């Protein structure tokens, strides 16, 4: 099996990318993935706005995938959709149970909620309390959890036995690695514990994103446009994997969320709500109104950054210089792969 290359047929020059780049810092309502402020590069491409926002700790080779996605979206455009709206879940970070109701109030009628669990410094009791609080606020919602591969095998079994009574739709990346997922999935089946396994990091961080499906290590896969190198490449991964897919965000701004929605809208089948509702976690965004769900769905409207919001949230000169250097290095990776 062969995947699409990481770069678009024509890679713009690094000078063009930098000329079209706007670096922003956006505050969050709550700490998410260890950050309270999201930094991103927004590109005003000839086919529309796109986003380059690899997390700060990612090396250049990984960041290059995110740039490939930005180039595809901004210079080639998104593929034609097969649906007019995308169902999305609400996301509850690893916050105290007492804060859950206030956070969920920021979402409009979510039918599905993803709850972060296994946070460093917290206990299983904190996770149980958080899910119980979500269930109390939204008794009919579908619940899923995401451990970000933080449990070991035994920890995962204990945790899933405690959390399964909430009627979990699935558990996302409960343990690290493909072998770990396969072992856990086999043991859950042996015990008759009805929890589906979703692979996230074992898809987007592996050198072969199809390996998890080939190993039978998951019931479904989570795909993200930026980390996988673009919408068309992600679509091909889903096709070749032959597993149900959930499209999720990487804490994108509204610009990046629209690219993610373009991926979800182009999938032939979309059996699960997508993790593209994280725009509700931002205090402010670069689009007015922000690209957030209404009635549990995202529409497919055109999203363009607002000049006033770009100016309001512009990064410092020092951070812009840091991001431009990073963009240049990621561009060099893509250019080398195109030779």
User: Is 224 marked active-site?
Assistant: yes
Q: Return d(Cα 315, Cα 332) in angstroms, integer.
A: 24
Determine the distance from the C-alpha atom of residue 114 to the mean position of all C-alpha atoms in its chain, rounded to a whole number.
12
DSSP 193: -
pLDDT for the residue 138: 97
**DSSP element (H, E) containing 53:** none
pLDDT for the residue 205: 82
299 is in an annotated binding site: no
C-alpha distances (whole Å) from 178 to each of 168, 205, 219 are 21, 11, 12
The CA-CA-CA angle for residues 88, 116, 208, to 5°, reads: 75
Which of these is catalytic: 130, 204, 224, 313? 224
The domain made up of 14-78+308-338 is a member of CATH 3.30.390.10: yes
CB atoms within 10 A of CB 101: 13
Is-contact 113 141, C-beta < 8 A?
yes
22: three-class secondary structure by DSSP: strand
- 323 Cβ partners below 8 Å, 6+ apart? 21, 23, 39, 41, 315
Question: 128-150: b or e for each residue (b if 16 or more CB lie within 10 Å)?
Answer: bbbbebbbebbeebbbbbbbbbb
Which of these is catalytic: 38, 65, 116, 130? 116
The CA-CA-CA angle for residues 187, 193, 198, to 5°, reads: 75
pLDDT for the residue 228: 95
Is-contact 332 68, C-beta < 8 A?
no
172 is in an annotated binding site: yes
- Topology at the third CATH level for domain 85-305: TIM Barrel (3.20.20)
Residue ranges of domains in the chain? 14-78+308-338, 85-305
User: Is 116 marked active-site?
Assistant: yes
Q: What is the pLDDT of residues 155-175, one digit of tens each?
A: 999 999 999 999 999 999 999
303: three-class secondary structure by DSSP: coil
219 is in an annotated binding site: no
Q: Which of 127, 128, 98 has the alpha carbon at shortest distance from 30?
A: 98
Q: Return d(Cα 47, Cα 45) in angstroms, integer.
A: 5
Tokens at residue 291, please? Answer: 């690209």
Burial classification of residue 316, based on how many CB atoms lie within 10 Å of its CB (0-12 exposed, 13-18 middle, 19 or more buried): exposed
pLDDT for the residue 8: 55
DSSP string for 161-185: HHHGGGTEEEEES-SSSHHHHHHHH
| Ramachandran assignment for 338, one of left (phi > 0), alpha (psi -120 to 50 degrees), beta (any other) | alpha
**Is 85-305 in the same CATH topology as 14-78+308-338?**
no
User: For the chain, which residues score pLDDT lower than 50?
Assistant: 1
Q: Could you identify the residue written with the tokens 């991964």?
A: 237
Is-contact 10 39, C-beta < 8 A?
no
Which residues sit opposite 49 in a β-bridge?
44
Determine the distance from the C-alpha atom of residue 149 to the mean position of all C-alpha atoms in its chain, rounded to a whole number.
15
157: three-class secondary structure by DSSP: helix
The CA-CA-CA angle for residues 185, 191, 196, to 5°, reads: 35
Determine the distance from the C-alpha atom of residue 287 to the mean position of all C-alpha atoms in its chain, rounded to a whole number.
19
């Amino acid at each position: 099996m062969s995947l699409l290359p990481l770069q678009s047929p024509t890679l713009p020059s690094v000078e063009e990318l930098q000329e079209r780049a706007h670096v922003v810092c956006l505050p969050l309502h709550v700490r998410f993935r260890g950050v309270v402020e999201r930094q991103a590069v927004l590109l005003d491409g000839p086919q529309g706005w796109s986003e380059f926002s690899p997390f700060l700790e990612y090396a250049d080779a990984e960041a290059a995938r995110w740039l490939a996605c930005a180039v595809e979206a901004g210079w080639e455009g998104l593929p034609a959709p097969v649906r007019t709206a995308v169902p999305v879940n609400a996301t509850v970070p690893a916050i105290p149970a007492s804060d859950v109701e206030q956070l969920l109030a920021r979402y409009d009628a979510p039918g599905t909620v993803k709850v972060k669990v296994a946070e460093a410094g917290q206990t299983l009791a904190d996770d149980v309390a958080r899910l119980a609080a979500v269930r109390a606020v939204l008794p009919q919602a579908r619940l899923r959890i995401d451990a970000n591969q933080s449990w070991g095998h035994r920890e995962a079994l204990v945790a899933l036995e405690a959390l399964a009574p909430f009627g979990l739709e699935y558990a996302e990346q409960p343990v690290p690695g493909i072998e770990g997922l396969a072992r856990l999935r086999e043991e859950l089946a042996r015990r008759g514990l009805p929890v589906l396994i979703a692979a996230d990091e074992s898809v987007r961080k592996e050198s072969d994103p199809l390996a998890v499906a080939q190993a039978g290590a998951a019931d479904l896969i989570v795909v993200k446009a930026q980390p996988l190198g673009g919408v068309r490449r992600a679509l091909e991964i889903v096709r070749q994997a032959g597993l149900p897919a959930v499209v999720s965000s990487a804490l994108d701004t509204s610009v990046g969320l629209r690219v993610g929605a373009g991926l979800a809208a182009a999938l032939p089948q979309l059996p699960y709500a997508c993790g593209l509702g994280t725009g509700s976690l931002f205090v402010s965004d670069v689009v007015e109104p922000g690209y957030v769900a209404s009635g549990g769905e995202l529409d497919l409207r055109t999203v363009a950054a607002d000049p006033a919001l770009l100016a309001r949230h512009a990064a410092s000169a020092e951070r812009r210089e840091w991001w431009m250097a990073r963009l240049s290095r990621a561009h060099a990776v893509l250019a080398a792969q195109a030779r």
